[in-house]
A and B are shown apart, each in its own frame.
Chain A
Amino acid sequence: MDLTLWTYEGPPHVGSIRVATGMRGLHLVLHAPQGDTYADLLFTMIERRGERPPVTYTTFQARDLGADTAELFKTAVRDAYERFSPQAIVVGASCTAELLQDDPGGLARALGLPIPVIPVELSAYRKKENWGAAETFYRIARGVAAPKRERAAGARPRCNLLGPTALGFRHRDDIAEIARLLETLGVEIAVTAPMGASVEEISRLGEADFNVVLYPEIALPTAQWLEKAYGQPYSRTVPIGVGATRAFVAEVARLAGLDPIPGGIERDSRLPWWSRSVDSTYLTGKRVFVFGDATHALAAARAARAEFGFKVVGLGTYSREFAREVREAAAALDAECLITEDYLEVEAKVAALQPELVLGTQMERHIAKRLGVPCAVISAPVHVQDFPARKSPQMGFEGANVLFDTWVHPLMMGLEEHLLTMFRDDPEFHDGVQPSHLVRDAQARNPEPIAVEPAPAVAHASGPTTWSAEAERELKKIPFFVRGRARGNTETFARERGLATITVSTLYEAKAHFGR
């Protein structure tokens, strides 16, 4: 039994619904109790879809348990077939129905429908949403696959784009951006799947030369199977950030046999110059905490260091399947690593590391708001705000431009907000003091602490050392956004040396000790 407050991922059947909802001509019949239909609102409200997800739920109740839930399921499949005329039906069970052991696959096949019926085993008590999406996509691909057809010699290189689903973080815009990039490279896109694909298109996945895996959490099992079954290699690089996009282009060129790579693909790539521009100097060494699904967290950490000049102090993921990769990346960045699904653990880590920017999910946005730290969202779980009206990809060169804007803006705006609320009563907040937008220079000059300390409130309360009045006054002169860290460092320093009272000189000794 795991105590859970907020979850990063839904149950596996929600992953199935994400796959089905993105597709055309597919219907999903879920053996599920009344109430599980809540999942529909994720799509109609968060993603603002104008159609109901193509899902039928059996919505059994207690009185049905004594009767015949298997018959109920068969009726639901038959009704769904007649009403929606799908080209294929996927059948599965949500957590409660899994306990009934009604065998949805066997029951649905017994109906003898003239379309493919694809059962998925969702293992609700072991697995989660992304796994459910990956498994469902893989089962569909296998369930409707057609034999490979040979392509004419000299045809343009051709690939599939794999991984986007309904309710994915910026999947809609990523696909458009990567499709544009591939087109510029002269690579034809056979099928984009699962989102946007019809059942018939899925059956033709085998016709491409290779696969582009955009979201490994969802597409990896399918790509691995296609490699085995059709000999299609697949791409490993996820093109988030300028560097990753360049690496992705090189990888695609290799897979497609393109030589040379067409010029001009970076024409609209602005991040490199925006980042080199001197106004961005203040970004140097900013302490950043990164958390999300593995794909987005890894990419964000890399871009944060190499393309923004940030210092990644913490890197974590809730995707346990990719824990090894995230641990390695964290070690390479000399950042603390966190593999957890417990939001309280993430909160404690953010509080302890005191980053200046959090790159996370909607959960981390709440954590950061509580702790007064600026935050940008980089990963699912999604929120209605993550479906902007404008195009806002994360991938490709335009995606990198978007990253620059979305990561840097909260930083400045966050700062302004703090200045207004926190400096209101401070002695610094007077006519003639340095204008607020220049405070960042002071921050850039401030030494980077190397110690990890508890949250300021905790340190303040638990410290056995006391501050002399004079030292307390001196502390107040330090800008607010580093004051908490300065206080924590000084108290740690004093505690380690058994000092009962912190004087002004203790404060500066600690500064010298921790500063580099």
Chain B
Amino acid sequence: MNVRVPLDIRPDLDARSGGAAPVLRERGQREVFCGLTSIVWLHRKIRDAFFLVVGSRTCAHLIQSAAGVMIFAEPRFATAILTERDLAGIADVNEELDRVVVRLLERRPEIKLLFLVGSCPSEVIKIDLARAARRQSEIYAPNVRIIAYSGSGIETTFTQGEDSCLAALVPTLPQEPPAAAPSLVVAGSLADIVEDQFARLFEAIGVPNVRFFPMRSADNPPAIGPNTRFLLAQPFLSETARALEARGAKRLSAPFPFGAEGTTAWLAAAADAFGVPRSRLDAATAEARARAETALARHRATLSGRKVFFFPDSQLEIPLARFLSREMGMVPTEVGTPYLNRQIMAADLALLPEGARVSESQDVERQLDRCRAERPDLTVCGLGLANPLEAEGLTTKWSIELLFAPTQGYEQAGDLAELFARPLTRRAALEV
């Protein structure tokens, strides 16, 4: 293997209606977070869950740093740090882990769901967390369920941590009764406020039995079965989608709900699947669409015609580039994504403009070379790159906020546009 292989440009024939759009694939340093980072938002979503990382001091330090230093309260995540005794076999890793779990559950009796999260070191030394979870589940059932998944950097990139977590949860979801009425599951963490808005919209449209996954509380999981349709609210859920499909649920293909157009298309996929006439969808969404349009219009002058360059981060890049190009008139030059799942991304890929270079994986040095050469008006990148690029005179938007802030749906469309407009407005406003 050689990271210096020349650019691997393969024609991508299946994804885009526009024909053979190339996808640039590179190998080199990947400037991305590992999957453990997703604990930062997952623990806030599932409020009676605890995330115990079995890893190293690096894992603990990463989560703490990514969380933007510290949260006031005692957090619902922690790291069981492996020490030399564990590695040398002086201590039995399983006994040690059991001891840590006992201490944890005694301290936090409100916990209903405990995740044992695998890390790079735990996977390299092959600690069987799935078996540990089964063993501990027998002890703590029915009060606490214990589930293992991997958030390691060798297995997962950033948002794939959520994918891995949800995929591990899917087999534990209850079985839908055979004669159950058709239901819709919306998969992928959304801010509570966004979730509630969507719930109201689905009701107004007339889509029945809508459940959200992950659920806010561990003891209220959605049932899954052949009558379940599911709609991904986040684009990074490949494994989760596969797991849901394995249980008979059917995925509805749609662009992701960013911007007014994206949200309408996303809702329409559900409406179509449930036989709701378009007229009802139009009527139920008319007001919200008008509000979104007003909010978006405010930022169009700032964004329209500006070049935008995405470094790979969360897999939100392709849907966001689609939103910025179609609804805000921006010109995506490069759209980097850590992974490209063509099936899940098909609807968004088809709507990307000609000339937008999609790149998968990363050689950060060469990508920086391209970015500097192109001098985009706005560069969307991680926190490690943002200030250095600003210091070189480029305007940046740090990508993690696009994930942490509520951005989906009609009511947030304007906020989403504002996240991109703010760095440009700020640069124009500053006279220092």
Contact = CB atoms under 8 A, between A and B. Distances in A.
A124 B58 contact: yes
A38 B91 contact: no
Contact of A33 (B4, B80, B152, B384): B152
Nearest to B384: A40
A33 B154 contact: yes
B57 A10 contact: yes
B110 interface: no
B404 to A, nearest CB: 14
B44 interface: no
A59 B154 CA distance: 8
| Interface bracket on B | 35 or more
Nearest to A41: B383
Contacts of B36: 35
Contacts of B154: 33-34, 60-62, 64-65, 96
12 contacts: A1-B86, A3-B81, A4-B60, A14-B61, A39-B65, A44-B386, A52-B385, A62-B154, A83-B365, A100-B124, A126-B84, A370-B73
A85 to B, nearest CB: 14
B33 interface: yes
Nearest to A82: B4
> Which A-B residue pairs are the 5 nearest by beta carbons?
A35-B34, A35-B153, A50-B391, A40-B384, A96-B120
A237 interface: no
B215 interface: no
Interface of B: 1-4, 28-37, 54, 56-58, 60-62, 64-66, 69-70, 72-75, 78-84, 86-87, 91, 93, 96-97, 99-100, 103-104, 120-121, 123-125, 152-155, 157, 365, 382-388, 390-391
B82 A33 contact: no
B236 to A, nearest CB: 15
Contact of B123 (A10, A39, A42, A62): A62
Interface in A78-104: 79, 83, 94-96, 99-100
Contacts of B29: 37, 56-59, 76
A369 interface: yes
Interface in A17-57: 33-42, 44-45, 48-52, 56-57
A326 B81 CA distance: 26
A281 B123 CA distance: 59
A133 interface: no
A3 B83 contact: no
Given A41-B383, A44-B385, A72-B1, A34 B153 contact: yes
A18 to B, nearest CB: 13
Contacts of B30: 34, 37, 59
A68 interface: yes
Given A34-B153, A59-B153, 10 more contacts: A1-B80, A1-B83, A1-B86, A38-B66, A41-B383, A51-B391, A59-B29, A96-B124, A124-B56, A125-B86
B120 A35 contact: yes
A3 B124 contact: no
A155 interface: no
Interface in A373-398: 383-384
Contacts of B37: 35, 38
Contacts of A5: 74-75, 78
A195 interface: no
A256 B91 CA distance: 52
Contacts, number: 196
Contact of B81 (A1, A13, A35, A76): A1
Contact of B157 (A34, A65, A83): A34
Given A38-B62, A51-B388, A60-B154, A1 B70 contact: no
A5 B52 CA distance: 10
B3 A95 contact: no
Contacts of A7: 57, 60-61, 64
Contacts of A273: none
A194 interface: no
A67 interface: yes
Contacts of A34: 30, 32, 34, 153-154, 157
A95 B153 CA distance: 12
A1 B99 contact: yes
Interface in A448-507: none
A1 B385 contact: no
Contacts of A50: 387-388, 390-391
Contacts of A52: 384-385, 388
A98 to B, nearest CB: 9
B153 A362 contact: no
B70 A362 contact: yes
A64 B29 CA distance: 13
Contacts of B103: 3
B47 to A, nearest CB: 18
Given A56-B29, A370-B72, A71 B61 contact: no
Contacts of B382: 41
Contacts of B4: 75, 79
